[in-house]
Chains A and B, each alone.
Chain A
Amino acid sequence: MSGLRGTRRPSWRHRLLRGALIALVMAFMAVLVLLPLAAVFIEALSKGAAAFMDVLAQPETVSSIKLTLLVAVLAVPSNLVFGVAAAWAMTRFEFRGKALLGAFIDLPFSVSPVVAGLVYVLLFGAQGWFGPWLSEHGVAIIFAVPGLVLATVFITLPFVARELISLMQAQGSEEEEAARTLGASGWQMFFRVTLPNIRWALLYGVLLCNARAMGEFGAVSVVSGHIRGLTTTMPLEVEMRYNEYDYMGAFAVASLLGLLALLTLVVKALLEWRYGDELAARAPRGH
């Protein structure tokens, strides 16, 4: 019929389907994401702002915040260095086992965090492969901060590397070669040419890496041992308070994690809006 009218408008069936689909997605988001997020903040403030501040001032909370920051401060830079090195190796060198390395970089995304945690217990725990040797030398990894950092590094390993590999692949190595022929040393080439070209993608990767490092629960939970004030990060603190029926306290700590998530989201959106073309793998220039 539309042909007779000379215009091609979507039929009412089409429009209905489109509307229904959008409504479904919206409802899904509202019920599963926005509602819980709102609930966290409402519950956290259910006994008033003063009670909320009290929870945050408790030594357990303070120590969990400090520990979370410490783990992130150690894990994120490790993955930044690893990510840049891995991306450089993957995009600038030809070597045997390159495809395998590429697959293994993605492994932490596909393996369950609990498994990751258990592997470290198996390796470094009291009954683990290196456990006896470690305890003889007085080094504690499992049920201690090093274990938390290791587990977090494992979980957040792919974020920076993945972000950079696709970008550096697309950008190619010609600019770096140009820098070489102009007399640049390896470091000059990296800091004056490579780094400026990947800076926003790097920041983006670090941001996602950090959000995950602070929010990680599964792997950290396995290696932590839940020692209050010593090995309890914020997500673990939330769980412990919840198990102790301290709902308001649990939500108060959870709201901090919620705020972190929102902040990450805002910065991420800002980066995408401002430097979207430098983040996305650009169209290669020939070859």
Chain B
Amino acid sequence: MTLELSHLHRRYAGFAALDDVSLRIEPGEFLALLGPSGSGKTTLLRILAGLDYPDSGSVRQHDRDLLAVDARQRKVGLVFQHYALFRHLTVSENVAFGLRIRPRKSRPSRAEINERVERLLKRVQLDDLGKRYTSQLSGGQRQRVALARALAVEPDLLLLDEPFGALDAQVRVALRRWLRNLHEELGLTSVFVTHDQEEALELADRVAVMNRGRIEQIGTPEAIYQQPATPFVCEFIGKTNKIPLQRANGVLTGGQRPLGADPWPGNAVGSAIGYVRPEHLLVSAEPAVDGWAAQLRHIYLAGGVAHLELDVPALGQVLEADMSSDEVARRGLQPGQSLVVQPRLITAFPLDAQGEADAAARHVLQPQAAP
């Protein structure tokens, strides 16, 4: 069942939580809504669940207007960030809740309910804990109870609000791999909200990056990371170096070095902004190489990867470059050393007179290294 969200607007007291959001959710896909807090991702999730309503716009499922369907009839499973388990009920009773409250004619028999609850608890690996109260469980266990409870009503759409937000790092990684497997087994359409890009990129089939009530970019994790579409996505996803660029006489320069032909038509003189990922900065110890002169200030060893902090006087700023720790050792790099830095891949946006970047005019530069 394809979900078609179009032109959703939602305002709260002077603040636009959703500003013209349109989105297509394909059947069986695992979609992440990624963004900082206040970007509108939770509002979008609550609208899908029927707990909030847009001021305008529509949500359609085939020919059905989903907004006209009450939350209780939507067949949507929602897992809350803080689980929202019923504290006066046991684990089994929590899972059985959605079945027990059904009207008599659509309610499964007691034996069927018990059997289904048992099967679900086994699926979330909690089959021994059915008799416990939820206050006796760990965070990860509670999360799985919440998931089993949502799955018990056999939803068409599973929604997860920051599903791993309240868990510690180790449990988080284990649980998200497990959730990915479960999603594949069930073949359910799932949407989850997160502010953690690593989580979104690792888990989702597609990621929608949200900022200030708008979807900045939607695409596969690879596309989001490799081809960020807007300055916000460049800065929000992964690490990046932000470099001021100048446009003059048909040439784009940065730090007094020509980087290529000015890709934008129109006014010949102006400025632009460029983003370079740390792994796209080539570092060389040979002064003959064409590039920005830099001084190596620090080497931060983070396991297999080393982060180099490079002071570039031509840019008047510090750049970060990544290389493998082995490479650092092989080349015998030392803090204080003079180096040459070359950007290999720049995502650039022209700036207008007000200094606003034009996301639509995005251009990717691949400056040629001098032979």
Q: Which of B80, B81, B88, B98 contacts A183 (CB 8 A)?
A: B98
A192 interface residue (CB < 8 Å to B): yes
Interface residues of A in 158-182 (CB under 8 A from B): 174-175, 177-182
Give the number of residue pairs across the A-B interface with Cβ within 8 Å.
69
A9 interface residue (CB < 8 Å to B): no
Interface of B is mostly: loop
Set of chain A residues within 8 Å of B86, measured between Cβ atoms: 175, 178-179, 192-193, 196
Question: Is A174 a contact of B72 with CB atoms below 8 Å?
Answer: no
Count B interface residues, CB 8 Å: 27
Q: State whether A182 and B98 are in contact (beta carbons under 8 Å apart), knowing that A177-B51, A286-B166 are contacts in the complex.
A: yes
Residue of chain B at shortest CB distance from A199:
B88
Set of chain B residues within 8 Å of A264, measured between Cβ atoms: none
Set of chain A residues within 8 Å of B51, measured between Cβ atoms: 177, 180-181
Set of chain A residues within 8 Å of B153, measured between Cβ atoms: 182-183
Residue of chain B at shortest CB distance from A192:
B101
- Give the bracket for the number of chain A residues in contact with chain B: 10 to 19
Set of chain B residues within 8 Å of A285, measured between Cβ atoms: 82
A135 interface residue (CB < 8 Å to B): no
A188 interface residue (CB < 8 Å to B): yes
Q: Which of A174, A184, A196 contacts B84 (CB 8 A)?
A: A174
Question: Is B77 a contact of A181 with CB atoms below 8 Å?
Answer: yes
Residue of chain A at shortest CB distance from B13:
A94
Set of chain A residues within 8 Å of B80, measured between Cβ atoms: 174, 177-178
Question: Is B49 a contact of A181 with CB atoms below 8 Å?
Answer: yes
Question: Is A181 a contact of B101 with CB atoms below 8 Å?
Answer: no
Set of chain A residues within 8 Å of B49, measured between Cβ atoms: 177, 181
**Binary interface encoding of chain B residues 119-161 relative to chain A, with 1 for a CB under 8 A from any of its CBs, else 0:** 0000000000000000000000000000001101100000000
Question: Is B84 a contact of A182 with CB atoms below 8 Å?
Answer: no
Provide the bound-state CA to CA distance between A287 and B165, in Å.
12
Interface residues of B in 19-66 (CB under 8 A from A): 49-51
A91 interface residue (CB < 8 Å to B): no
Set of chain A residues within 8 Å of B82, measured between Cβ atoms: 174, 285-287
Provide the bound-state CA to CA distance between A184 and B98, in Å.
7
Chain B residues proximal to chain A, CB less than 8 Å: 49-51, 71-74, 76-78, 80-82, 84-88, 97-98, 101-102, 149-150, 152-153, 166
